Structure 1
Amino acid sequence: MTLPFYDAVKQLQDAYLMFPAFQKAFDQVEANLKLYRATGIAQSLLVLGESGTGKSSLSRLFTERYPMKTLPERDVIPVLFVSIPPAATIAGTVEAVLAKLGDPDPERGTVSVKTARAVKIARGCSVEMMLFDEAQHIQDRGRAHSQYFVGDWLKSFMDALGLPVTLLGLPRMQSLLQVNEQLRRRFAHRLSLSVQPAGIDSNEDNSLELFASLANALPLPLDPRPYGWRELGLRLQFATDGRIAYVKQLLVSAYEHAVNQGNTSITPDTLGSAFTASIWPSGIGQLNPFHSEFIFRPLDRLAEPFQMGEMGSGASQRRLR
């Protein structure tokens, strides 16, 4: 591969696309920050979305909007972005916070000592908002009482800081809030991060718009033939479930296939090969959204790429064709 190829791939991977749900969540997070700055009122938000819908991208983009500043006497961190570790314990969660705050020894001390230190450092760094990504890892801790303890620590930590907090996680995160009533009240405001709400007939239009906007970052044009643009949009919806990560994954693979084959455009045949190579190796024939004999149904059954999670999948709620 040549340098222009890698440059094009990097440009695609770095691209952010403000589809409606993403824009709404971003605007709400920013509104909470502005409210806090103007009034001192701390409002919290829960952003839910399946894997690949852009939760981490939203967090990174918002953190880039309000970057850390290094002053001679201290660091100023307006927005603290923390990824909660898998099977989160209270100790592991507070250590992740301390590490992001620049603490040189985040494992030192008891949980209460670590927590007090995290509050002190956060205030010293003028933190105004906290974003917790992978919040379902608290819920994944296991039994209800363990979930409650971690959730209760988070509630107490939020109270000590008095800052607006945004939790981002998979839909099953809601079960944690059912366990911890006080935490549930703090995150009464919830948003779903999906390309298109269920039940709306324009899924394919949104998927095509999303795909075409990202494809503009690549040197090769998108050619829908032998399908029309609307049908290609529908096939793209089934191939990616409307998730940003899968759209990018499919485009990168399709671009690589096209370059290797010396093609001058990205076609449905190219996308079909890319789908099998990068998303689902078993997606062939009737189970490949770009194949002429595709069965036009969500690929959310057992062992399929968008298999329904325990809290349900957006794909299963969409209309079948």
Structure 2
Amino acid sequence: MSLRFWQRIRLAPGVTLNLSKSTASLSFGPRGAKYTVSPRGNRATLGLPGTGLFYTIQDRKGARAATPTRDKLSLGFFWRLVTSPEEKALIDGLRALSEGDEDAALSHLEAANDLPDAAWMAGMIRLKQEAFAQARVHLESALAAGGRLGALLTKYDLAPQSTLPMAKGIFAHISPTERGTRLALVELCEASGDAEGATQHLERLLVIAPEDPVVLLSFVQIALDTPQDHDLLDRVIALTVATQNETPIDTGILLYRARALAVRGLPDAAIDVLTRAGRRRKDRPDRLLHQIRHDRAELYERVGRKAQARREFEKLFVEAPEFEGLAERLGLR
């Protein structure tokens, strides 16, 4: 069976930057999936492409009178006298970004690359431009700063967020923290064909964010690319043992858990996991549910339950007649 379901998509088109001119808010993210921080309250919006379903979480606690972003990013004359050239460049870069001048913003931010916050912002812009090598240099520099990352942005009361496409239908909200930067580097390494680099960042993420379902989804997806590594597959099985089918991300994780079990010679256990994964259909992408049905049908066939396999394949054909190789399998072509 095919081991890869959620093909990773090109990272850069899902990275968008916008600094609001009306209030001190900063919103990053592709259409339908973004996180906005503002004095009016924080909100997270997550959409599942192709389903028309969106999730928004609003938190108005702590809202205060709005301060225009331009005012926050303006350094008065006397303040500039005691501000380093690099910090001035960071602020000038953020001002340019808020005014929509991405090239000027990048020029200022890269001039202040010794500041981890400037490096992080420059890295996100370079990702947007698909300049992966330059983006990696900036993000690794920001990551190396440790606890200093995010400090200057906090000083100016700004909380940048970015939204990265981890897989089809799955987005991760990130910020200038170790977790957020490593998640960006995982996707960047994947886009650059550096599986070893991606794995190294994921190993660290499993230490600092072991409960993060996006981290777990990324890890199991990469692990299943090397099905001959039985120790790695056993880690997937161990790490996913507590996964409940509460969200679409959980459903995807269960699919990979079932695949790991199947490769390790436990097809009946894999069938049980797929059956559980397929029970929840609300809010799940059709493509994910179709893949679950297909994988379960293949396993039925593998254990000799031919009639059940045929029924599953026929049901799948009714739902998705265009599913790759299905018509041929059913003898319809």
TM-score normalised to structure 1 length:
0.29
Highest RCO, 1 vs 2 (Cα 8 Å, sep ≥ 6): 1
TM-score normalised to structure 2 length:
0.28
Larger radius of gyration: 2
